[in-house]
């Protein structure tokens, strides 16, 4: 979802700064189109995808989550300041670093998937998706894990 959201990082950030509910704006749903197009590519090649969404935040990672949120806010402020000076390239980079994939974004994508491709299995992990993906791999529920996150290697995924 992050790669798709990065395509509209500036719009998402500016709407967030103005307290606009981006879930109602079609042009900011690029993350959804991106994910669906990737899943449709798998389906086209007779690969059955299983999509795993993040669950609740890990209580033991509260300090890390707070630090990341602080960093995102710092990048948001930097992006807004750069955007105000019309430095669109650097503000875009800062906005991309301020991106947060929210639970609402995941729920929206899951609802869309259930409507558009009801045969695609969607799993909501109890906590982090990485651990759930590793479990699915280690128990041979899935043959391969496709992710942009290298954390899956230490979790023991055989094929990432």
Residues 76 and 98 sit within 8 Å (Cβ to Cβ): yes
Q: Write b or e for each residue in 133-157: b if 16 or more Cβ atoms lie within 10 A of its Cβ, otherwise e.
A: bbbbbeeeebeebeeeeeebeebeb
Angle, CA 76 vertex, CA 73 and CA 77 arms, to 5°: 90
CATH number of 2-127: 3.40.50.1010
Q: How far apart are CA 120 and CA 32, in angstroms?
A: 15
pLDDT 10s digits, 61-78: 889 889 999 999 999 999
How many C-beta neighbours within 10 Å does residue 7 have? 15
> What does the domain layout of the chain look like in residue ranges?
2-127
Higher pLDDT, 86 or 21: 86
CB 127 within 8 A of CB 58: yes
Token pair of 27, please?
Answer: 């042009």
133 — pLDDT class (breaks 50, 70, 90): very high
Handedness of CA 124, 25, 18, 77 (dihedral sign): positive
- pLDDT, tens digit (0-9, with 9 covering 90-100), for 87-96: 999 999 999 9
């Amino acid at each position: 979802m992050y790669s798709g959201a990065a395509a509209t990082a500036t719009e998402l950030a500016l709407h967030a700064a103005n307290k606009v509910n981006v879930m109602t704006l079609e042009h900011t749903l690029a993350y959804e189109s991106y994910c669906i197009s990737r899943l449709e590519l798998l389906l086209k090649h007779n690969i059955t995808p299983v999509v795993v969404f993040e669950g609740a935040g890990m209580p033991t990672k509260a300090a890390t989550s707070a630090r990341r949120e602080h960093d995102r806010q710092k990048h948001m402020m930097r992006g807004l300041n750069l955007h105000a000076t019309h430095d669109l390239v650097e503000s875009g980079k800062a906005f991309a670093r301020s991106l947060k994939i929210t639970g609402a974004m995941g729920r929206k994508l899951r609802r869309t998937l259930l409507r558009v491709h009801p045969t695609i299995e969607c799993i909501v992990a109890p906590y982090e998706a990485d651990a759930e993906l590793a479990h699915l791999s280690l128990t041979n529920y899935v043959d391969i894990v496709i992710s942009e996150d290298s954390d899956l290697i230490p979790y023991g995924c055989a094929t990432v």
